[in-house]
């Protein structure tokens, strides 16, 4: 699925390659958050915080 994919340029291959996003680093908590955790833990989060 392209929903959690990102294209990165590989200088060795000289081509854009698709990579699956497994998670991200949250700058507010300093923790690594897996993508599947994000989908299930957004309850109670306000976009205006």
For residue 19, being part of any structural domain is answered with: yes
pTM of the model: 0.43
pLDDT computed for residue 11 by the predictor: 86
Determine the structural domain holding residue 26 and report its residue range.
2-40
Q: Which pLDDT score, from 0 to 100, does residue 1 have?
A: 43
Q: What's the count of helices (H) and strands (E) in the chain, helices before strands?
A: 1, 4
Report how many domains make up the chain.
Answer: 1
CA gap 21, 35 in Å, rounded:
7
**1-49 pLDDT per residue, tens:** 446 788 888 888 889 988 888 888 899 999 998 877 544 444 444 444 4
pLDDT at 37: 52
Residue 8 within any structural domain of the chain: yes
What 3-state class would DSSP assign to 30? Answer: coil
Per the domain annotation, does 20 fall within a domain?
A: yes
């Amino acid at each position: 699925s392209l929903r959690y994919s990102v294209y990165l340029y590989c200088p060795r291959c000289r081509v854009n390659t698709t990579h699956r996003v497994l998670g991200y680093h949250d700058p507010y908590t300093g923790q690594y958050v897996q993508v599947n955790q994000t989908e299930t833990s957004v309850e109670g989060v306000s976009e205006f915080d």
